[in-house]
């Protein structure tokens, strides 16, 4: 148990964290009360988020997000999220932020939201010693035209804090290539790329992400394991997987952590990293993920050091930031 405590306390890097998905339920409840917004069907009796399956999760997520109405709300959210991350030993995190929720895709409004978020991030860096960077994210089920607006927002704010462009949302809608224009725009603006793939759909979706969007990291990607030739391609191309084991188990992608392919992917040479996705939704934290991996697969400090190294190398920040935090 001393061993587990040591593992929970290790310094961590988190690459896959949705900013609204990291909102503590009490924070969302508080904002709803302040603004007199009724949130029906968002919480269970114990005050946690309530949902039955992935599509329902997405709708509860969007309902909870609807109380975040101003740059100041996002600044407060950023502070709350970073406090939680820091408590879990996270020293560097990248978070997904959607212009769709921050100003409705309008570039000027987005810049105001981003400014507020960044100020909160800078304050947390000073007070908590945690570094945050942003990945502008389009939402797959909002469609390609909306994604282009997000990409434009991303391109207009690309720099030392907005370091990447990505896509989340319902993987069962449309195809990766429908979003190629948005990803091309972001790449041309100098942004690094990641997309959710191989969480709900199988290996072909992961292959499409590599071929059609030319991403260098994949959100989840775990179902690539169903095609070992593709797994070897991930290894050859050095594609990094942002694996969120607790999320996958909570949403029912796998029945238990022992059946999750993270260890088999790692053993085959894939660059795997560990994140929480939407921690309060899935009743997890980075320390919980580390503990579960140590207990289930016997991961020791050496394995976690390898995970930290892989994560640091795969981070989208500049070299100077990487050296300063890791
Ligand atoms: N948005 C927030 N969490 C997500 C997930 N696990 N998959 C896709 N989109 C998401
Ligand atoms: Zn995600």
Instruction: Kindly identify the ligand whose nearest atom is closest to the C-alpha of 61.
Output: 1
Q: Please report, rounded to a whole number, the percentage of residues in the chain having pLDDT higher than 70.
A: 100
Residue whose CB lies within 8 A of the most ligand 1 atoms, among 20, 49, 57, 276, for a mutation test: 57
Is 13 in a helix, a strand, or coil?
Answer: strand
In the predicted model, is pLDDT for residue 326 greater than 90? no
Rounded to the nearest whole angstrom, what is the distance from the C-alpha of residue 278 to the centroid of ligand 1? 8
Rounded to the nearest whole angstrom, what is the distance from the C-alpha of residue 251 to the centroid of ligand 1? 10
Percent helix, strand, coil in the chain, to 5, is 55, 15, 30
Q: Of 311 and 326, which is predicted with more confidence?
A: 311
Look at residue 274 in the predicted model and tell me its pLDDT.
Answer: 99
Rounded to the nearest whole angstrom, what is the distance from the C-alpha of residue 172 to the centroid of ligand 1? 12
Does the 2-317 domain belong in CATH 3.30.1330.200? no
Asked if 120 and 78 touch (Cβ cutoff 8 Å), the reply is yes
pLDDT in tens, 134-171: 999 999 999 999 999 999 999 999 999 999 999 999 99
Instruction: Kindly identify the ligand whose nearest atom is closest to the C-alpha of 173.
Output: 1
CA Rg value for the chain: 18
Q: Is 169 in the pocket of ligand 1 (CB under 6 A)?
A: yes
Orientation angle between helical segments 107-128 and 71-87, nearest 10 degrees: 30
Kindly give the number of the ligand 1 atom that is closest to the alpha carbon of 281: 3
CA atoms within 13 A on the CB side of 24: 14
Q: Please report, rounded to a whole number, the percentage of residues in the chain having pLDDT higher than 90.
A: 99
* Contacts of 242 by beta carbon, 8 Å cutoff, 6+ apart: 15, 16, 194, 217, 218, 219, 220, 221, 273, 275
Q: Where are the domains of the chain?
A: 2-317
Phi and psi angles of residue 189, each rounded to the nearest 5 degrees, phi first: -85, 0
Rounded to the nearest whole angstrom, what is the distance from the C-alpha of residue 35 to the centroid of ligand 2? 28
Tell me the catalytic residues: 199
Asked if 7 and 294 touch (Cβ cutoff 8 Å), the reply is yes
pLDDT in tens, 23-65: 999 999 999 999 999 999 999 999 999 999 999 999 999 999 9
Kindly give the number of the ligand 1 atom that is closest to the alpha carbon of 171: 8
Helix H or strand E segment including 283? none
ipTM of the complex: 0.97
pLDDT in tens, 272-286: 999 999 999 999 999
How many CB atoms are closer than 10 A to CB 146?
19
């Amino acid at each position: 148990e001393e061993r587990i405590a040591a593992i929970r306390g290790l310094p961590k890097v988190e690459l896959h964290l949705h900013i609204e998905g990291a909102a503590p339920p009490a924070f969302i409840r508080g904002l709803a009360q302040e603004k007199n917004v009724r949130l029906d069907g968002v919480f269970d009796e114990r005050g946690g988020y309530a949902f039955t399956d992935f599509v329902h999760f997405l709708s509860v997520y969007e309902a909870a997000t609807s109380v975040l109405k101003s740059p100041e709300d996002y600044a407060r959210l950023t502070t709350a999220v970073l406090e939680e991350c820091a408590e879990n030993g996270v020293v560097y995190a990248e978070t997904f932020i959607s212009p769709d929720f921050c100003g409705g895709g309008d570039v000027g409004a987005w810049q105001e939201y981003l400014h507020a978020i960044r100020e909160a991030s800078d304050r947390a860096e000073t007070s908590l010693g945690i570094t945050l960077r942003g990945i502008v994210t389009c939402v797959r089920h909002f469609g390609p035209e909306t994604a282009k607006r997000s990409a434009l927002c991303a391109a207009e704010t690309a720099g030392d804090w907005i370091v990447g462009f990505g896509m989340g949302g319902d993987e069962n809608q449309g195809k990766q290539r429908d979003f190629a224009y948005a990803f091309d725009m972001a790449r041309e603006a100098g942004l690094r790329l990641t997309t959710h793939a191989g969480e709900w759909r199988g290996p072909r979706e992961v292959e499409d992400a590599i071929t059609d969007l030319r991403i260098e990291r994949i959100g989840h990607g775990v179902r690539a394991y169903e095609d070992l030739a593709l797994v070897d391609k991930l290894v050859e191309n050095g594609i990094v997987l942002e694996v969120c084991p607790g999320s996958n188990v909570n949403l029912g992608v796998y029945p238990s952590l022992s059946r999750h392919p993270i260890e088999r992917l790692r053993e085959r040479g894939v660059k795997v990293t560990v994140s929480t996705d939407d921690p309060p939704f899935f009743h997890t934290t980075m320390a919980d993920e580390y503990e579960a991996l140590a207990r289930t697969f016997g991961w020791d400090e050496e394995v976690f050091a390898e995970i930290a190294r892989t994560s640091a190398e795969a981070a989208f920040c500049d070299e100077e930031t990487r050296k300063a935090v890791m």
